[in-house]
């Protein structure tokens, strides 16, 4: 078994250190893993060292938040060179843009009636780029929000099985109430840059992308799809596998594990 989409605590919504991830992977009998942290390569070097210690195959990777036709698309960049100065400069720029985006998301969530501020958000993001987990934790940390019926599904209702991911999908991603577009991280540009650095661009959990958009991405250099993911039903997995075969794309599998 393999898992090529795992988040460490280099992602602000990841809960485990690289060593803890490797220990869990060994217990589960995984043969290969990849750290796919949000816009971060901070733990790639440590992952390569741990791979030798644990005798597991490790694929350097990161997950980039990109935008295309109003959609928030996540690109996985496999076999990325963490020592590439061009990559490091690009990620620094992305980090600055994402921090700016977080402030605008905070303002929009405030406008929607959720009571929290930048200090609350910083407490849970710990200086990293705030994600859906950081926002929901900050909101739930304020007692003023706990009686809000909009939050009950994430506390004990239908969205509580994966509350942070679901909050992100319901409020922060493309087309949702607190979505904030970033012009500077266009999906097609990201695909080109990833390939220019010798890495392999794969679209993560593509269920909401749409076939027309998928075809356009493939025509512009996308090399594969994350077909096997908890976000896809068996029918969706079959559909994406058939699409990948027809388009001569790579097929990957990943849990999107955060902790």
SS3 125: helix
| pLDDT, tens digit (0-9, with 9 covering 90-100), for 138-181 | 999 999 999 999 999 999 999 998 898 899 989 998 789 999 88
The single-letter DSSP state of residue 241 is H
CATH 3.20.20.140 given to domain 2-82+187-253: yes
Is the separation of the CB atoms in 37 and 62 below 8 Å?
yes
| pLDDT, tens digit (0-9, with 9 covering 90-100), for 48-91 | 999 999 999 999 999 998 989 988 899 999 999 999 999 999 99
The single-letter DSSP state of residue 251 is E
| pLDDT, tens digit (0-9, with 9 covering 90-100), for 2-41 | 999 999 988 877 889 999 999 999 999 999 999 999 999 9
| pLDDT for res 183 | 66
Query: Angle, to 10 degrees, between the axis of helix 211-219 and the axis of helix 187-196?
Result: 40
List residues bridging with 186 in a β-sheet. 67
φ, ψ of residue 36 in degrees (nearest 5): -125, 65
| Confidence (pTM) | 0.82
Dmax (CA) for the chain in angstroms is: 52
- Each domain of the chain, given as residue ranges in start order, spans 2-82+187-253, 93-172
Residue 234 tokens read as 């068996």
228 — pLDDT class (breaks 50, 70, 90): very high
Give the full edge-to-edge strand order of the sheet including 61-68.
Answer: 61-68, 71-78, 200-203, 224-228, 250-253
């Amino acid at each position: 078994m393999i898992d090529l989409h795992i988040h460490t605590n280099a992602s602000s919504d990841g809960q485990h250190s690289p060593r803890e991830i490797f220990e869990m992977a060994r217990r589960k009998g995984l043969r290969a893993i990849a750290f796919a942290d949000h816009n971060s390569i901070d733990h790639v070097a440590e992952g390569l060292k741990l791979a030798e210690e644990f005798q597991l195959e490790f694929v350097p990777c990161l997950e980039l938040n990109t935008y295309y036709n109003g959609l928030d698309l996540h690109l996985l960049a496999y076999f990325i060179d963490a020592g590439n100065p061009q990559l490091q400069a690009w990620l620094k720029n992305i980090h600055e843009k994402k921090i700016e985006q977080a402030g605008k998301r905070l303002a929009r969530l405030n406008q929607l009636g959720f009571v929290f501020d930048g200090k609350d958000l910083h407490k849970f993001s710990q200086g990293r780029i705030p994600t859906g987990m950081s926002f929901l934790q900050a909101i739930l940390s304020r007692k003023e929000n706990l009686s809000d019926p909009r939050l009950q599904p994430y506390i004990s209702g239908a969205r509580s099985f994966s509350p942070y991911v679901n909050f992100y999908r319901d409020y922060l991603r493309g087309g949702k109430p607190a979505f904030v577009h970033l012009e500077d991280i266009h999906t097609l540009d990201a695909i080109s840059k990833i390939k220019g650095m010798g890495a392999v661009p794969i679209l993560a959990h593509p269920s909401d992308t749409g076939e027309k958009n998928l075809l356009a991405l493939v025509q512009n250099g996308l090399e594969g799809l994350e077909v096997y993911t908890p976000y896809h039903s068996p029918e969706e997995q079959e559909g994406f596998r058939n699409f990948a075969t027809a388009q001569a794309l790579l097929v990957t599998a990943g849990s999107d594990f955060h902790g």
